[in-house]
Structure formats: C-alpha cells, structure tokens
C-alpha cells in the first residue's frame, strides 16, 4: 500500500516549477508575515504623514509631549524596528521555503533570480511613485546575495546573522561619536562666523551641521516648505520623493542598511531550518521563547527610551542608546513571533490568526495598498493631509487601514489563489499566466489525498 501511496503522491505533485499551492502553505508563517506587515505601518505612517526626521525623533515634528510622547515611547519599546525585523526574518525564511520546494522539481536558480529581479523593479517603481521608505528594493538587492547560503546549516546562518548584529551595534556607537563632532564643530563654526571669515575646514563643518540640522531639527519655515512640496501637484510630490529615494538607492551595497537586512534575513533562514518559524516546536518552547524575548527586550528598550527622554532627545545620546537597538528589537520580535505561533497552535483567537494569515498570503498586495491609501490621503495626489496631524492622530489612519485589510484579505483569499500583485509577480516569474480563481473542490481528489494520508 505504501508503494501505491508513493505513486499516487508522485502523480499529484507537478514536476515543472510552479507557485506554492494553498495546501502547501504554512499557516503559522503566513500569520506571522501578516502580523509583521500590519505592524510595519505603525512606523511607516510617521514619515508618510509628516516630516521624515520625526520618524524616531518627535522633537522634529508632530509633538513630543502628552499623548504624542506616550505613543513614541510605546512604539520605541514594542514596534520601532521590531516589525521590520520580523518581516525580514520571514522574508529570509521564504528564501529557504521557495528554493527547497523548487529544487524537488529541478534547478532553482533561474526562478529565484528572476523572481528577485522583478521584485527589484517593483521596488524602484514603488519608491519613486508611492513611498520613499520602500523595502522591496533593498530586500531584493540583499536577496541577490543570499541564494548561495540556502543550504548552509541553521547554526551557520544564525552565526552570520549575529555577526551582522554586532557590526550594527558598532555602527550606532560610531554614529554617536561622529554626530557629536558634527554638532560640536558646527556650533563652533557658526559662532566663529559672527566674528570673522571662516576657514575652509570651518565652512565644511558648518555645511555638514546645517545638512544634519535640516533633516533633524527643522525650523518652522523649513517644515512649511517641506509640507508645501508634499501637498503640491504630481510633479512636486514625485520630486520630493525622488530627493529622498535617490541617495539611498545610490549607497554602496555593503553599507549599514544592508547589514541590517542581512542580519535578520540570515536569522530568519536559520530559524526556518530549525522549525521555529513553521510552528514545529512544542508549546513549551514558544512559551519560553516569548518569556525570554520579552524579558530581555522590553526592559532593554524601556531603559533606552528612558535615557533618550531624560536627555530631551539629544541626538548624540540617542545614537549611543541605540547601541543596544538590534538586541532589543530582535528579542521583542522573537517574542511577537512566539505569541502569534502559540495562538495558531492553540487555536485561540482563530478569527484573528486566520485573518492575519490571509493578510500574510497577500502581503505584497497589502503592502502596496497601504502605500496607495496613504499617498492619496497625505500628499497632493489626494487629500493633502501631510503635516496636518499630530503623531498620535496618525494612528487613527493606521487603525482604519488595519480594519480594511483584515476584512478584505480573507474575503479575497476565499475566491482567489493569490493577491492581485502576487499573481502578477508569479506570472512574470514563471513566464506564464497563472490561474487566479480557486477551483471548485474536487471530491475525487480529496478522496485520493485522504487515502494517501491514511496509507
């Protein structure tokens, strides 16, 4: 009977490379991806709706007292960097999942690199026309280097991720020294300019300080000029966005931004191989993971928040406090991951984990949808609300988008195999139009699969 079952299984598995079927999906992984995707909006909304320098520094714009300060504090402890960390880990896990399934049917490199290059193109378009903080382009760029690591052991992948994390801690500490000098020398140059002509070195120090100040401590006039650009016509908005995107897209491949992404992608690849991201571990394992993750991350992030607030968001202190940033965000992200997987395994709040899973299955479409909605709400494309809301008020917009996507995504996935952009991406990747609608249940196929399982 085992031989018959094997033959039946072989006949049911397509031999040509093809997208993942619904029956092959990993529920826990989809739910974690959906949670991370919704969580990313918690931080993106800041730079979408107000001056970008306010992203992690509420003194720049949007308010730094009362409800605004409380919102910043909660986000610093539980969300800032944590959701991007979680999403990067899931992306890394997806690399292993994709290549391992493809390699059961043949070589995977062609599909992998074609898929990644299409993502690169989507990211460029998205960055210039919808959201300057796009992650698709840098994710694709980093993913180009990860294919050779797909067969490395989980231990090796986790070690590489840890090394990148240590390097990033050094970057933040170095940033504290660097910007401390920039601010000190800039102030000295400005003071010297009041008493006479500056030397070439002093002129350079003054220019560097002014560039930093405009991005972190803008004047009311500069904030107004920024808002006018984002509330302007199509050309004005695209120009403002291009001004932010171009420098980032022209950074060297090996700079700190790539280290940040590689760090978490390598860790995600390792955790997937260990069965952590797929929900294969015990309930006790995930309970301990949540306890340890939150037990380390929440106190660490709370302390750094306290230090930053105590020093009135002094930029130099802020950099030094962020030397623990990667440890704090990774541990909290692992805590979030453990809680979501525990909910999936225990079957509690099934309505929520199911909705999160649907959001995760169409994460690409939902990510772009968030950008479309916010671009039209905040910029000159639509309602021109950029810069008009306080920090805490932006989360009303987040809540509305969450409700929309948690309702629409499950409805969509009941009728279709993929989200609309996932369908487009897969069709381009496989050079073949993919079936979109879910086929009616095949009773005979169900009977065959049941007999195979029982055998």
pLDDT in tens, 283-304: 999 999 999 999 999 999 999 9
Q: What values do phi and psi take at 416, rounded to 5?
A: -130, 155
- Domain spans of the chain, in order of start: 20-169+223-433
**Confidence tier at 428 by pLDDT (50, 70, 90):** very high
Query: Is residue 14 over pLDDT 70?
Result: no
- CA 196-202-203 angle, to 5 degrees, is 90
The model's pLDDT over 190-249, given as tens digits with 9 standing for 90+, comes to 888 887 788 888 888 888 888 888 888 899 999 999 999 999 999 999 999 999 999 989
Q: What values do phi and psi take at 388, rounded to 5?
A: -95, -10
> To the nearest whole number, what is the mean pLDDT of the chain?
88
CB within 8 Å of 18: residues ≥ 6 apart: 105, 430
Whole-angstrom Cα distance, residue 408 to residue 410? 6
Least-confidence region, from 264-268, 442-446, 451-455: 451-455
pLDDT at 25: 61
Whole-angstrom Cα distance, residue 326 to residue 167? 10
pLDDT at 440: 55
pLDDT at 205: 87
Could you give the percent of the chain with pLDDT greater than 70? Answer: 91
Least-confidence region, from 125-129, 185-189, 238-242, 345-349: 185-189
The model's pLDDT over 78-129, given as tens digits with 9 standing for 90+, comes to 999 999 999 999 999 999 999 998 888 877 789 999 999 999 999 999 999 9
pLDDT at 171: 81
pLDDT at 315: 84
């Amino acid at each position: 009977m085992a031989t018959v079952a094997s033959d039946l299984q072989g006949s049911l598995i397509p031999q040509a490379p093809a997208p993942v079927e619904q029956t092959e999906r990993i529920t826990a992984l989809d739910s974690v991806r959906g949670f991370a995707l919704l969580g990313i909006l918690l931080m993106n909304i800041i730079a979408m709706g107000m001056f970008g320098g306010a992203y992690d520094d509420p003194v720049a714009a949007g308010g730094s007292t009362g409800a605004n300060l409380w919102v910043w504090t909660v986000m610093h402890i539980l969300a800032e960097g944590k959701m991007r960390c979680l999403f990067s880990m899931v992306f890394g896990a997806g690399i292993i999942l994709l290549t391992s399934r493809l390699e059961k049917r043949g070589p995977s490199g062609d599909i992998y690199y074609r898929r990644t290059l299409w993502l690169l193109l989507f990211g460029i378009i998205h960055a210039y026309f919808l959201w300057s903080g796009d992650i698709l382009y840098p994710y694709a760029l980093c993913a180009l280097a990860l294919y050779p690591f797909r067969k490395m052991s989980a231990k090796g992948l986790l070690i590489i991720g840890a090394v990148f994390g240590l390097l990033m801690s050094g970057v933040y500490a170095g940033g504290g020294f660097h910007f401390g000098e920039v601010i000190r020398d800039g102030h000295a140059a400005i003071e010297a300019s009041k008493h006479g002509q500056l030397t070439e070195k002093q002129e350079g120090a003054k220019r560097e300080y002014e560039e930093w100040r405009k991005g972190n401590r803008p004047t009311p006039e500069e904030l107004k000029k920024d808002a006018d650009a984002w509330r302007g016509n199509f050309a004005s908005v695209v120009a403002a966005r291009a001004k932010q995107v171009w420098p980032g897209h022209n950074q060297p491949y090996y700079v700190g931004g790539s280290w940040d992404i590689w760090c978490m992608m390598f860790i995600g690849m390792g955790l997937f191989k260990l069965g952590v991201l797929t929900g294969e571990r015990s309930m006790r394992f995930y309970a301990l993971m949540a306890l340890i993750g939150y037990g380390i991350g929440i106190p660490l992030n709370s302390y750094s928040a306290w230090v930053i607030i105590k020093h009135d968001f002094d930029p130099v202190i802020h950099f030094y406090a962020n030397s623990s940033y990667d440890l704090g965000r990774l541990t909290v992200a692992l805590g979030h991951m453990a809680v979501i997987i525990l909910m999936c395994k225990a079957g509690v709040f099934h309505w929520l984990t199911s909705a999160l899973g649907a959001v995760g299955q169409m994460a690409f479409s939902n990510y772009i949808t968030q950008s479309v909605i916010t671009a039209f709400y905040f910029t000159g494309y639509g309602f021109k609300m950029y810069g008009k809301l306080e920090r805490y008020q932006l989360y009303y917009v987040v809540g509305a988008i969450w409700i929309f996507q948690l309702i629409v995504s499950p409805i969509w996935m009941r009728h279709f195999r993929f989200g609309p952009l996932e369908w487009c991406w897969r069709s381009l990747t496989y050079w073949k139009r993919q079936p979109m609608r879910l086929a009616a249940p095949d009773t005979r196929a169900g009977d065959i699969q049941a007999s195979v399982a029982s055998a």
